[in-house]
Structure formats: structure tokens, C-alpha cells
Amino acid sequence: MLQQTVTIKNKLGLHARAAAKLVNTANRFESSVVLNNKGKGADAKSIMGIMMLAASQGTELKLFVEGNDESEAFASVISLIDNRFGEEE
Amino acid sequence: MLVLHGAGVGKGIAIGKAFVLSGGTVTVPEYSIPESGQKQEVERFRNALDEARGQLEDIAANIPKDAPTESASFIEAYLLMLKDPLIADQPIDTIRTRKVNAEWALQIHSAGLIKAFDAMEDEYLRSKRTDVEHIVNRIQSNLLNIRHETLGHITSHMEGKVVIAHDLSPADAVLLKNHSVAAFAIDLGGPISHTAILARSLNIPAVVGLHGATRYIAHKETVVVDGKRGVLMAGTDKLTLEAFEERRRYVEAKQLELQALVHKPAVTKDGVAVTLQANIELPEDIGSAAKVNPQGVGLYRTEYLFMNRPQPPRETEQYTAYCRVAKRMKNPVTIRTLDLGADKQVDGGRREGPTNPALGLRAVRLCLKEPALFTPQLRAIFRASAQGPVKMMIPMVSNLDELSQVMDLIEEVKSELRREGKQFNENLPIGGMIEVPAAAVCADLFASRLDFLSIGTNDLIQYTLAIDRVDDEVNYLYDPLHPSILRLVKTTIDAGKHAKIPVTMCGEMAGDPRFTKLLLGFGLRIFSMDPAALLEVKKKILDTNVGIAEKFAAKALDCKGSQELRDLVTALDQT
């Protein structure tokens, strides 16, 4: 199992479109991908769950990835978040 | 005549026949389903989901190719929501366990989701409850067999019409624009909803949050949409309609006329050159500001970097933000240090509300009391000065001792940066904001210690006249043309002239074309304002004869009251 704290960098936070990108990324992998915001957890393959994390810019999330392809999944999710979901801000 | 008020989100005026889309709020029925009927009920729910998927895919296929790429990604998000267990699976469990109909099961779950969104702290994320509402409404309509006149099929009849709807999804808004709809007006939505943002970027007049537009407006009735004022009007008589038509043409013509001034230098009729700068709040504002071609940024309000977050930004984050602005501009960027306090508080409510925040611990006072907040900002600004033409401005200075403390802190920061071998501009200009009457009265003292002065009229007026601008009971007394204000402005400009340092004005008065000629007459040569006002002020400047303005301005200082002053200023405006 891999885990790390990640910070949401894009200005708008985890809104619907950003969440959609996250879900699509997580869905490419077999591993389970979970994000945790101050004790509230969400399956990164559920767009509603991700949106309900209410993660605005600057929020620190704990990322847990577990499964056969965990290292690729882990790297992909982190790079998506670090690249602000491809958003400008 | 019927007048409905909402939030204007797309500027401009449109007049046209209403095209009222039926649909809208659905009344969700509740009834029980016996165990024997559950299988069929679950099936009905799944069909509604499938149908919704098909509808969304249809819309996606119909989005014009030149539409902003975001419009397609909304649909992608909606499609994922349709598959999400919280929407697709949990209502099915509820149909079984609580023995209720599909509509009611969905209603129970969506109400829970919407409640969770409403509890979110972040305003933007909270407003995303509309995404859930859109998707749930679509499923409910399918369950109830409410046939929305789906936009895809009827858009060809909409050309030149004003579309009135209970709600529009962002994707619908894009379709409307591409079918030359004149404007749209909807019952739901706020100024920061996706639909509103798209209306702005598509440049289509729109009003949202009208509450009841679909109920009160009849199909094919002639309506007026004023996107600037956020108004929808119906049943207007012929004269009113003509007046609006005239205004619509006027607004259009004026925009074109102002657009032609973008690259024209701001020089008066008698050859006096004036500098026009932009006020910005966020680094990304620089993009829209650049469209009016300002000669630098006269006020970069840094406090927005510090708001809506639990922790203040670190030095690196600030440095990156300041560099982004500095590198974009050939002309100076005036970074104002933190002006928090009063109506702008850091999130997390670090301090209990003082009884009178405007007179309390704010701006430079707060910064001096909390060096841990101030020093990283000073360091970031100095470091950014190596990357572009940066100036620094201290807000709310009121006495020289305070200023000395700031200067001492700045010297410390400079020697620290030198020790670390970090590059910065040793001669970075440091200015003060003249917004406390005490500083304006003693402007000469401040001018002798600073590299420039900048008059902040909003607070100067509020403090001088002892009026809280947000207090409805007294704000009628808020008056830029009070003789005291003009005297303080004049004193400050003269003090700068005497000390041979520049004086700028960055308050709202600088962006109000009614005052442009008067301020030129007082000797003001640098104006900084909301970029939206810049071209109109430039137009005034091109129309000014400074020699004449000076004569009027001298007379203005002798006026005894605001009415006399207003008459004089109006007369000057006609020259």
C-alpha cells in the first residue's frame, strides 16, 4: 500500500470537472484509490464521493493506493493533482 | 409592466420575443411499492438512468466544435455522476428496503447530497450543488415521463429570441449561443454558476436567479433583458421599448467607439500626457486588464492571496504570484502590502470581531503587529523586483513612527536578502497610501519620506466624513464632492508636486469619468482604476483642456457645499 499527503493546488478545488478527471484516472487502474480529507474518506472512482470531500484550494488530502498496479496508479493520481487537473490556475 | 430582478451575468441589452421552455421543477410523488412490484420499479429506475445517459450523449454530440472545451467536460462529469453508486445504486437499495417508488427513493438520496453540499465552506464548491440538481432533475423527468422540450430539437426556432427557462445546463447555454439566441433569463442560478460563467465568456446578455420568470412570462411575449442591471421586463409599452432599443444601440455603439481608443495615448487637448493604470486583485486579472492597454498596475491588492484559506501563503507562493504579474508588464506594477482587517478578514476567524473594524487593527497596523505575516510578503515583493518593474505601497499609514517601523523592517529584509545572495532591486520605490485623513493633512511629511503617494479615495471619504459605506442608514452621506475631500486630495497632490514625487489615485473616484476633468484640474496625472472603467476615463482625458480644468478646479475649492460643487463639476464636464 502506498500513501502520501497531497495538496489541492488548482484555484477552484475539486469541483465536478476536476473530479471527473480524477475518477477517469483512477478508473484506468485495478488498484483501489482512496482520498481522505480530515477523516472523511472517498473512493476516487466515485465522482460524487470525490465532490463531497469539499476539497478547496490548499486542502491537504491523504492518498492511499492499494493493488497490483499501485505504483503506476499512485504516480498518475499525484501528477494529475500536481498539474492542477490541467487547469490554468 | 412587469419587472423581475436577478443577477446580471452577461452584459448588454437584448429585446426579443420570449421563448419559454417548459419543464422546470418537478413535483416528486411519494407512494409505496409492494414487494411484488419492486423488480419492475428497479427496472423503471434503471431505464430512467439509461435514458438520461442517452440524452447527455446526444447533447455532447451536438455541441458545436468551436464551443469552449469545458462545455464537453461538464457532460463527461454528468455521465460519471449517472454511474456513481450514490446516484445509481443507493436509490435501488431504498426502493427495496423502504418499499417506496423510484422517484421518492431518488429524492431521499439527492436531498442528502444537496444538504452535504450546502454545508461546504468553500463558496465555489458549495455552488456545485447545481450539478447534482441538474442530473437528478433529468432522471426525475425521465421517471415521470416529463418530456422536456430538449433543446437539441428546437433550437432552430430560437434565433433572435430571448430564452426563458427554469434552469439551463452549461451545455444548453453553449447551444443557445450557437443558434444566435438574443439572450437568456433563468429562474435558478447565481452569478458564479457554470452557466453564468459561460454566459460571460460567450458574451451573451443573461440574467440568472430570477425566481418566477417561467411562471410570469408568456411564450412569444416581447421582453427586454438588461444584463448589466440584472433585469427582465415584460409588458413594456411602446415608448419604453423604443427607449431600450435606443439604449441597446447606444451601448453597442459606445463599446465600439471606446474600443478604438485602446492604443491611443491618453493626452489632453492641450498636450498634457496622463498615465492610466489598472487595479487588479489576482494575478490572472492581468490578462483581462491587458485588453485595455494600461500603463502598468497602480494597485495590486494582495490580500486576495490570503483570503479563503486557513493558512497565509508562504513566501514562495507569494513570490510566484508577484512574478507572474511583474513579468507580464513592461510598466510598473505597484504591489500593495496586505490590507486585511475591517471587511476583509483571513478565514478561520483568528480574532474576535472588534466593535469598529475600520478603525481597528488592520492593514499596516496588523502587519507591524504580526511580523510573521508581514516579513514573508516583504521578502517576496523584494525578490520579485529582480524579475520586473515592481513598486511597493503601504496601506493606511497614519503617522511617521509607524512608517519608520516599516522602513526598519524593510532594511532588515534587504540585508537578509543580501546575506542570502538573493537578487532584488536596491532602489525599489516605496510609496504610501493616503487614505487616513491624518496622512492627507500631513501629506508633506509623508512625501518627504516616500518615493510616491497614492490616494485611496474610498477609505479617505469614509474616514473623513465618518460614514460607514456599508451602513444603509448613513451611506447617503458618502460624497466624493464634499469640500473636505477635495481639499485633502488637492493638499496631497500639491505635497507630491512640492517634494517632486509622483502622486497617483487608485480609489473609485479615479475611475469615475464624472471626476476626471476636475482631478486633472487639481494636477493629478496618474489614475489607477478597474480596467472596465479605463477607456471611458481615457475618452474624457482626450476631451479635456487642462488650462480650463485648472480654472474650474480652483473655483471648486471655494465652493461651500456639495450642490454648488456638483453644478460646477457638471459645467466643467461640458467644456
Q: Tell me the pLDDT tens digit for each residue of B373-409.
A: 999 999 999 999 999 999 999 999 999 999 999 999 9
Q: Which of B70, B80, B122 comes nearest A47 by C-beta?
A: B80
Q: Where are the beta strands (DSSP E) in B304-440?
A: 333-336, 390-394, 430-434
Q: Which of B76, B86, B122 comes nearest A54 by C-beta?
A: B122
pLDDT digits (tens, 9 = 90+) for B40-55: 999 999 999 999 898 8
CA angle B56, B59, B61 (to 5 degrees): 110
Mean pLDDT of B169-189: 77
What's the Cα-to-Cα distance from B518 to each of B135, B299, B496, B542, B565, rounded to whole Å? 55, 22, 18, 14, 10
Residues in chain B closer than 8 A to A19 (CB atoms) = 77, 80
State how far the Cα of B72 lies from the Cα of B61, in Å rounded to an integer: 9
Inter-chain contact A56–B70, Cβ cutoff 8 Å? no
State how far the Cα of B408 lies from the Cα of B462, in Å rounded to an integer: 30
Q: Is residue B250 part of a domain?
A: no
- CATH number for the domain spanning A44: value is 3.30.1340.10
Nearest CA in chain B to A57: B309
In B238-257, the residues whose Cβ lies within 8 Å of chain A are none
Inter-chain contact A56–B131, Cβ cutoff 8 Å? no
pLDDT digits (tens, 9 = 90+) for B97-122: 999 999 999 999 998 898 888 888 88
Q: Is residue B258 part of a domain?
A: no
Chain B interface includes A13 (CB < 8 A): yes
Q: Is residue B214 part of a domain?
A: yes
State how far the Cα of B164 lies from the Cα of B187, in Å rounded to an integer: 8
In B481-540, the residues whose Cβ lies within 8 Å of chain A are none
Mean per-residue pLDDT over chain B, rounded: 87
Q: Which of A20, A47, A48 comes nearest B73 by C-beta?
A: A20
The predicted pLDDT at position B146 comes to 66
B338 and B373 Cβ atoms separated by less than 8 Å:
yes
Q: Count other C-beta atoms under 10 Å from residue B471's C-beta.
A: 10
Query: Are residue B321 and residue B464 in the same domain, yes or no?
Result: yes
Inter-chain contact B73–A17, Cβ cutoff 8 Å? yes
Q: Catalogue the active-site residues of B.
A: 194, 506
Residue B441 has pLDDT above 50, yes or no: yes
Q: Residue A64: which domain range?
A: 2-86
Q: Count other C-beta atoms under 10 Å from residue B88's C-beta.
A: 16
**Angle of helix B546-556 versus helix B562-574 axis, rounded to 10:** 170
B163 and B184 Cβ atoms separated by less than 8 Å:
yes
Disruptive mutation site among B122, B129, B169 for chain A (greatest number of A CBs within 10 Å): B122
The predicted pLDDT at position B345 comes to 54
- CATH number for the domain spanning B326: value is 3.20.20.60
CA nearest B393: which of B332, B448, B462? Answer: B332
Higher model confidence: residue B553 or residue B306? Answer: B553
Chain A interface includes B288 (CB < 8 A): no
* Chain B nearest CA to A68, separation (Å): 24
The predicted pLDDT at position B287 comes to 75
Query: Are residue B58 and residue B189 in the same domain, yes or no?
Result: yes
Highest mean pLDDT of the ranges A53-67, B15-29, B439-453: B439-453
- Band (pLDDT 50/70/90 cuts) for residue B67 is low
Nearest CA in chain B to A22: B77
Q: Is residue B439 part of a domain?
A: yes
Query: Are residue B228 and residue B277 in the same domain, yes or no?
Result: no
Chain B interface includes A20 (CB < 8 A): yes
The total of structural domains in chain B comes to 2
Q: Count other C-beta atoms under 10 Å from residue B297's C-beta.
A: 29
Query: Are residue B210 and residue B289 in the same domain, yes or no?
Result: no
Inter-chain contact B84–A17, Cβ cutoff 8 Å? no
State how far the Cα of B202 lies from the Cα of B67, in Å rounded to an integer: 9
Phi, psi of B240 (to 5 degrees): -60, -45
Q: Is residue B255 part of a domain?
A: no
In B400-439, the residues whose Cβ lies within 8 Å of chain A are none
pLDDT digits (tens, 9 = 90+) for B291-309: 899 999 999 999 878 876 7
CA nearest B363: which of B334, B392, B338? Answer: B338
The predicted pLDDT at position B61 comes to 77
State how far the Cα of A38 lies from the Cα of A60, in Å rounded to an integer: 8
Inter-chain contact B122–A13, Cβ cutoff 8 Å? yes
* Chain B nearest CA to A3, separation (Å): 24
- Band (pLDDT 50/70/90 cuts) for residue B545 is very high
The total of structural domains in chain A comes to 1
What's the Cα-to-Cα distance from B215 to each of B182, B183, B228, rounded to whole Å? 20, 18, 23
CA angle B550, B554, B556 (to 5 degrees): 115
Higher model confidence: residue B487 or residue B135? Answer: B487
Disruptive mutation site among B81, B89, B117, B118 for chain A (greatest number of A CBs within 10 Å): B81
Query: Are residue B217 and residue B303 in the same domain, yes or no?
Result: no
Q: Tell me the β-bridge partners of B100.
A: B32
- CATH number for the domain spanning B22: value is 1.10.274.10
Handedness of CA B393, B398, B404, B405 (dihedral sign): negative
Residue B330, C-beta contacts closer than 8 angstroms, at least 6 positions apart: B389
State how far the Cα of B450 lies from the Cα of B427, in Å rounded to an integer: 12
B222-226, strands of its sheet edge to edge: B2-5, B231-234, B222-226, B13-20, B162-165, B183-186, B206-208, B7-10
Residue A33, C-beta contacts closer than 8 angstroms, at least 6 positions apart: A26, A43, A44, A45, A63, A64, A65, A73, A77
The predicted pLDDT at position B348 comes to 43
The predicted pLDDT at position B349 comes to 44
State how far the Cα of B279 lies from the Cα of B300, in Å rounded to an integer: 6
Residues in chain A closer than 8 A to B121 (CB atoms) = 54, 56
The grid cell for B39 is 423488480
Chain A interface includes B286 (CB < 8 A): no
- Band (pLDDT 50/70/90 cuts) for residue B350 is very low
* Chain A nearest CA to B139, separation (Å): 16
Phi, psi of B208 (to 5 degrees): -115, 165
- Band (pLDDT 50/70/90 cuts) for residue B194 is low
Mean pLDDT of B191-213: 75
pLDDT digits (tens, 9 = 90+) for B465-505: 998 776 667 777 888 999 999 999 999 999 999 999 999 99
Nearest CA in chain A to B192: A12
Q: Please pick, among A2, A9, A15, A87, the residue that the annotation labels catalytic.
A: A15
Q: Is residue B295 part of a domain?
A: yes
Query: Are residue B456 and residue B392 in the same domain, yes or no?
Result: yes
Q: Per residue of chain A (89 residues), what is the pLDDT tens digit?
A: 898 999 999 988 888 889 999 999 999 999 999 999 987 888 999 999 999 898 999 999 999 999 999 999 999 999 999 999 988 78
Query: Are residue B231 and residue B271 in the same domain, yes or no?
Result: no
Query: Are residue B381 and residue B488 in the same domain, yes or no?
Result: yes
State how far the Cα of A82 lies from the Cα of B232, in Å rounded to an integer: 43
Q: Is residue B34 part of a domain?
A: yes
Phi, psi of B153 (to 5 degrees): -90, -20
Inter-chain contact B77–A54, Cβ cutoff 8 Å? no
The H or E element spanning position B110 is: helix B102-118
Inter-chain contact B86–A49, Cβ cutoff 8 Å? yes
Write the ipTM. 0.85
Inter-chain contact A20–B131, Cβ cutoff 8 Å? no
* Chain A nearest CA to B194, separation (Å): 10
Q: Residue B103: which domain range?
A: 2-238
Give the SS3 label for residue B417: helix
Query: Are residue B307 and residue B430 in the same domain, yes or no?
Result: yes
Query: Are residue B320 and residue B207 in the same domain, yes or no?
Result: no
Nearest CA in chain B to A8: B309
DSSP secondary structure code for residue B264 in this structure? S
State how far the Cα of B226 lies from the Cα of B216, in Å rounded to an integer: 17
Inter-chain contact A23–B80, Cβ cutoff 8 Å? yes
The predicted pLDDT at position B379 comes to 97
* Chain A nearest CA to B346, separation (Å): 14
Q: Is residue B105 part of a domain?
A: yes
Chain B interface includes A22 (CB < 8 A): no
